Structure formats: structure tokens, C-alpha cells
């Protein structure tokens, strides 16, 4: 197939490009290189089935042409990372909401299937664990900037589902839970690469709050396998689907595990959320996906446990 991947030079996008090329498909990636990087896909540029277009998904005309030339669209381009979202709120909303509007309009014109990557952030402060796709969402107030990311992604979901409802445009929406692995960078607020880099340097690992907040970390290759299968699964059209790992760990324990697996002399230090993010931050304690829906649709069983997820990140940063 001819696939268009928005955000293709990003962390998950670059792995998606790589896997689709390995499977013999043609891939065009569009990326403005804002949080992504050319180095993520430099090794793919000699492949005749690959092309990178450096531009924004907000460019209506260009997107129209690229979607027309493709058979399927994977829409990953987005503002990403808690720190970036808090620092650049207007750009975040514009990229997420307008970017998805542009992609869906073009897909509607040429009847192309679209997979949209949403996020577990839309579950907000929900306390019913695990999170199932049809659960109510509980977000914080609009004065707390963190929630604009979830709200913008939620609007993307509404828009994608609206296209499915009105014209049966094949739209699949996946809610990714924390996805990690090689090429993810820590500079926009991602915790695992941040911890691993600090541990390898022997510097202190900074845990925000009391570190009791817990997350489930999924290896990028497990997420990419689900993305590819779901995009081609007709029963997934018009649905929102969780993708992630169910193996939960507190952030403090994650820091300890990274120190142990790197054999680092690093210590752990604590920093309040207010100091870490200035004002405008709020966090949720737990985020565990209910994976019943994805398992009913495709063959999905994450292959990487937490130890191997951490190890692959360590191996990457040791080589970098």
C-alpha cells in the first residue's frame, strides 16, 4: 500500500515508517521537524519506497495532494509532551485541532482510511481503573493549561467520529497510553528517556511530586504493530481503541529500576509540580488501559515487559 504518515519523523512515526517499509509498502512522511528530527529517518532516505516532505499538516493544498497520492493515512502529527504543551498552548491547540481538520477534509475528498492517534490523557482525572473507551471523562478546569492537550485530542476524536457517522469515512481512533523506546527524547517532558540519560551521566534523577503516581509503559514496536493492524481492520472503523501496556509502575519505582538496570551511582531527588512546571499543572495518579476492545479486534499481546522496555531505552542512549 501507499501510506502517508503525518509526524513521520517523530518518535512513533519513524518506527511506523520503518516497519511499513520492512513490510514492502511505500511510505511518504510529512513532518515539520518541530519535535521530530531528520536523524530519526535519515537511515530510510536511501530506500526508494520512502520520501520525506518537510512541511506542516496545516498546509491544506499540500496535504490535499499527498492524501490524493496515498491509499491510507496515519495521522500522528501533533504537539506532544507536557512541558511543550504548557509552554506553547496556542500552537498546541492549533496543531492538534486544525491539523486533524485538514487531514480529515482531504481524506473525505478522496475516501482514504485514516488512523488518528489520540491519547490516554483524555481520561483525565478519571478514577475508575482500568480505563475503558466508553468511560466518562473527567478533566480539570480550563485555567489549568495541562488539560488543553486532552481537550484538543478529544475534539479530534469527535471530528473523526463525526466523519464516520456522516459519510462512513473509514476512521480509526487509537488512544495511546505511555509509549516508550529508542528515539524518544526527554526534552519535552517524557519521563523514561529523561531518567535514562540522567542515570547514564551519573546525575540525580528528578521525580515530580511524591513519585507515587503510576503509569504503564508500552514499547513502541508493540504500539506500532497495533497501529498497522488496526488501520486495516474494518471492524475498527468508527471506534476509539486503547493501545498500551497493563504493567503498572510508580514513577519512583521506575527511577529506582532505571538506576538498577544502568548500574548507576545516581541519586533520586524530588521536585514539586509547581516548581517543575510553574503554574498550570495538575496530574492524575494512575492510568491503566482496559485492553479488551483491542484484543477483540486484532491479535494484540505486548511482547516487551517493563524490564525489556527500559533496557531498549538504555541501549539506545548508550549508543547515541
Ligand X SMILES: NC(=O)c1ccc[n+]([C@@H]2O[C@H](COP(=O)([O-])OP(=O)(O)OC[C@H]3O[C@@H](n4cnc5c(N)ncnc54)[C@H](O)[C@@H]3O)[C@@H](O)[C@H]2O)c1
Enzyme catalytic residues: 149
Question: Residue 236 CB, nearest distance to ligand X (Å)?
Answer: 17
Residue 7 vs 170, nearer CB to ligand X: 7
Cell of 46: 536511501
d(CA 188, CA 206): 15
Question: Residue 263 CB, nearest distance to ligand X (Å)?
Answer: 26
Determine the residue with CB nearest ligand X: 36
Question: Residue 202 CB, nearest distance to ligand X (Å)?
Answer: 26
Instruction: Report if residue 172 touches ligand X, rule: CB under 6 A.
Output: no
Report the site for ligand X in 31-60 (rule: CB under 6 A). 31-36, 56-58
Instruction: Report if residue 11 touches ligand X, rule: CB under 6 A.
Output: yes
Task: Select the span of 4-12, 104-112, 194-202, 269-277 touching ligand X (CB under 6 A).
Answer: 4-12
Backbone angles phi, psi at 3, to 5 degrees: -110, 140
Question: Residue 229 CB, nearest distance to ligand X (Å)?
Answer: 16
Question: Residue 265 CB, nearest distance to ligand X (Å)?
Answer: 29
Question: Residue 219 CB, nearest distance to ligand X (Å)?
Answer: 11
Contact pick of 72, 99, 194, 195 for ligand X (by CB under 6 A): 99
Number of residues counted as binding ligand X (CB under 6 A):
28
Residue 55 vs 203, nearer CB to ligand X: 55
Contact pick of 13, 113, 181, 193 for ligand X (by CB under 6 A): 13
Residue 91 vs 167, nearer CB to ligand X: 91
Backbone angles phi, psi at 118, to 5 degrees: -100, -160
Contact 80, 188 (CB under 8 A): yes
Instruction: Report if residue 189 touches ligand X, rule: CB under 6 A.
Output: no
Residue 224 vs 266, nearer CB to ligand X: 224
Interface map 55-74 toward ligand X (x if CB under 6 A): -xxx----------------
Contact 268, 256 (CB under 8 A): yes
Cell of 132: 475503558
Task: Select the span of 107-115, 136-144, 176-184, 258-266 touching ligand X (CB under 6 A).
Answer: 176-184
Contact pick of 26, 70, 92, 95 for ligand X (by CB under 6 A): 95
Question: Residue 105 CB, nearest distance to ligand X (Å)?
Answer: 15
Report the site for ligand X in 145-164 (rule: CB under 6 A). none
Q: DSSP for the chain?
A: -EEEEETTTSHHHHHHHHHHHHTT-EEEEEE--SSS-HHHHGGGTT-TTEEEEES-TT-HHHHHHHHHH-SEEEE------HHHHHH-HHHHHIIIIIHHHHHHHHHHHHT--EEEEEEGGGGBT--SSSB-TTS--B---TTSTTHHHHHHHHHHHHHHHHHHHHH---EEEEEE--EE-TT--STTS-HHHHHHHHHHHTPPEEEETTS--EEE-EEHHHHHHHHHHHHT-GGGTTEEEEES---EEEHHHHHHHHHHHHT----EEEE-HHHHH-SS----S---B--HHHHHHS-------HHHHHHHHHHHHHH-
Report the site for ligand X in 116-135 (rule: CB under 6 A). 117, 119
Q: Which stretches of the chain bind ligand X, using CB under 6 A? A: 6-7, 9-13, 30-36, 56-58, 76-78, 80, 95, 99, 117, 119, 176, 178-179
Amino acid at each position: 500500500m501507499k501510506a502517508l504518515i503525518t509526524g513521520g519523523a517523530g518518535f512513533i512515526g519513524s518506527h511506523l515508517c520503518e516497519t511499513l517499509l520492512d513490510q514492502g509498502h511505500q511510505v511518504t512522511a510529512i513532518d515539520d521537524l518541530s519535535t521530530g528530527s531528520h536523524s530519526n529517518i535519515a537511515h530510510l532516505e536511501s530506500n526508494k519506497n520512502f520520501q520525506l516532505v518537510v512541511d506542516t499538516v496545516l498546509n491544506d493544498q499540500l496535504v490535499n495532494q499527498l492524501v490524493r497520492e496515498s491509499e491510507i493515512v496515519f495521522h500522528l502529527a501533533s504537539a506532544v509532551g507536557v512541558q511543550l504543551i504548557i509552554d506553547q498552548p496556542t500552537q498546541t491547540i492549533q496543531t492538534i485541532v486544525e491539523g486533524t481538520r485538514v487531514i480529515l477534509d482531504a481524506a473525505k475528498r478522496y475516501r482514504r482510511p485514516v488512523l488518528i492517534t489520540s491519547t490516554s490523557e483524555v481520561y483525565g482525572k478519571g478514577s475508575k481503573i482500568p480505563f475503558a473507551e466508553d468511560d466518562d471523562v473527567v478533566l480539570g478546569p480550563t485555567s489549568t493549561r495541562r488539560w488543553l492537550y486532552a481537550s484538543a485530542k478529544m475534539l479530534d476524536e469527535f471530528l473523526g467520529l463525526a466523519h464516520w457517522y456522516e459519510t462512513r469515512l473509514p476512521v480509526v481512533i487509537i488512544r495511546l497510553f505511555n509509549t516508550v523506546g529508542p528515539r524518544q527524547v526527554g526534552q519535552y517532558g517524557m519521563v523514561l528517556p529523561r531518567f535514562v540519560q540522567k542515570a547514564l551521566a551519573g546525575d540525580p534523577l528528578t521525580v515530580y511530586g511524591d513519585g507515587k503516581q503510576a503509569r504503564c509503559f508500552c514499547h513502541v514496536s508493540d504500539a506500532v504493530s497495533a497501529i498497522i493492524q488496526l488501520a486495516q481492520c474494518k471492524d475498527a472503523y468508527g471506534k476509539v481503541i486503547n493501545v498500551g501496556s497493563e504493567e503498572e509502575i510508580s514513577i519512583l519505582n521506575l527511577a529506582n529500576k532505571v538506576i538498577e538496570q544502568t548500574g548507576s551511582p545516581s541519586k533520586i531527588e524530588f521536585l514539586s509540580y509547581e516548581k517543575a512546571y510553574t503554574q498550570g499543572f495538575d496530574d492524575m495518579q494512575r492510568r491503566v488501559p482496559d485492553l479488551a476492545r483491542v484484543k477483540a479486534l486484532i491479535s494484540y499481546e505486548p511482547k516487551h515487559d517493563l524490564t525489556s522496555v527500559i533496557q531498549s531505552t538504555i541501549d539506545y542512549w548508550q549508543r547515541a
